[in-house]
Amino acid sequence: MRVANYPPERLDSPLFTSRSSEIYAWEGSRLLKLFNPEVDPFLIENEKINTIEAYEKGVTKVKCYGLIQIKNRTGMIIESVRGQPLISLAGSYPTTAFGVPKLMVKLQTQLHNTQTYIIRSYNEMVITTLDSQPLSFLTETEKDNILVKLSKLPDGNAILHLDYHPDNTMSDRQSATIIDWMTAARGVPAADVAATLYLLNEGEMIPGLNKAVAMALETVRKLLCKRYLNEYQKITGMTDAEIAPWRLPFLIVRLGVWNIDSEVLILQEKIRAALNE
């Protein structure tokens, strides 16, 4: 389904706003995810494909009904899912915080045990991203060295989310599901674990937090990161050595796809450091 020129004046105020989109109530139990004008249409189309595939494979409860055009913005109609993001849920019910690492690992291992041939290859995604404008700071020699490193990494067909963290996991305390599939790919599970470790341990904090709150959240997320990794490795037997080579590819994708202004210089430094390891 693709509807053209839906009148924007019929929309109420957004229920939620993120970096790339606004969420509006739609018909019945459906929501409109309205992407900002600057979001790459290729990424929007990918989110549609990824969401449909993830739903059909049973690894998300988010059903996609298609795209809609509202003036210069594209939207995606999706089914609403019950609950709150895990971080918000832990704020409302503090005792649930202790179960967050195990729940994250449970959902992620289900994801990693699911095969796909529809979602794009992560290895190919990284190579393509190398040619994007945010990676133009690299010399041709550095890019060649990165390609050599990438050529030594295994490929796979497991579903990878690549933006997996507590805010992209919805729960009503009875069940939980993963949301936001724009950056999903197929590959080996260690690549997705490396991505989650970066997001939990090094990703940019919510803008505008006061210093005390930011410090408290930093402590909490580092503890969460440690417990998440311990739980994932206990369940799967995955080693640090399997995860480590996937740090560089994710740094490339983080810079090239997300391209967050406040992260650019930091990621450039981290990419060069990882390249020289």
Question: pLDDT tens digit string along 199-249?
Answer: 999 987 665 556 666 676 777 788 899 999 999 999 999 999 999 999 999
Structural domains counted in the chain: 2
Same domain, 145 and 271: yes
Same domain, 44 and 181: no
Higher pLDDT, 11 or 247: 247
- Segment 8-25 shows an average pLDDT of 83
Average pLDDT over residues 151-155: 97
Indicate if the pLDDT at residue 8 is higher than 70: no
* Mean pLDDT over each residue of the chain, to the nearest integer: 91
User: Reduced to 3 states, what is the DSSP secondary structure of residue 74?
Assistant: strand
| Cβ atoms within 10 Å of 77's Cβ, excluding its own | 20
How much is the pLDDT for 11? 75
Q: pLDDT tens digit string along 107-122?
A: 999 999 999 999 999 9
Q: What is the DSSP letter of 138?
A: S
Q: Tell me: pLDDT of 96 over 80.
A: no
Q: Which residue(s) pair with 79 in the sheet?
A: 30
Last residue of some domain: 64, 79, 94? 79
Number of H helices, E strands in the chain: 10, 11
Lowest mean pLDDT among 20-34, 88-102, 177-191: 88-102
- Do 203 and 73 lie in a common domain? no
Compute the distance between CA of residue 114 and CA of residue 13 in angstroms, rounded to an integer. Answer: 37
Of 54, 79, 104, the one marking the end of a domain is 79
CATH number at residue 259: 3.90.1200.10
Residues of the chain above pLDDT 90, percent: 76
Side chain identity at residue 183, one-letter code: T
CA distance 255 to 274: 14
**Is 119 in contact with 50 (CB distance < 8 Å)?**
yes
Same domain, 120 and 195: yes
β-bridge partners, 84: 171
pLDDT of residue 267: 98
pLDDT at 57 over 60: yes
Which stretch, 169-173, 244-248, 260-264, has highest mean pLDDT?
Answer: 244-248
57: domain CATH number is 3.30.200.20
Query: Taking residues 150-171, what's their average pLDDT?
Result: 96
Q: Are residues 99 and 167 in the same domain?
A: yes
Q: How confident is the model at residue 10 (pLDDT cuts 50, 70, 90)?
A: low
Q: What confidence score (pLDDT) does residue 130 get?
A: 98
**pLDDT at residue number 203:** 80
| CA-wise closest residue to 53 among 181, 191, 168, 156 | 181
Question: In which band, very low, low, confident or very high, does the pLDDT at 33 lie, cut at 50, 70 and 90?
Answer: very high
Residue 90's domain comprises 84-275
Instruction: Please identify, among 79, 99, 116, the residue that sits at the C-terminal boundary of a domain.
Output: 79
Query: Do 105 and 215 share a domain, yes or no?
Result: yes
Given a cut of 90, whether residue 265 has pLDDT beyond it is yes
Domain match, 141 and 241 both: yes
The share of the chain scoring above pLDDT 70, in percent, equals 92
Q: What is the pTM of this model?
A: 0.92
Tokens of 135: 């990676």
105 and 174 both lie in a single domain: yes
pLDDT at 1 over 70: no
Q: Is the pLDDT of residue 184 over 60?
A: yes
**Could you tell me the two tokens for 107?**
């959902």
Of 244, 120, 250, the residue nearest 187 (C-alpha): 120
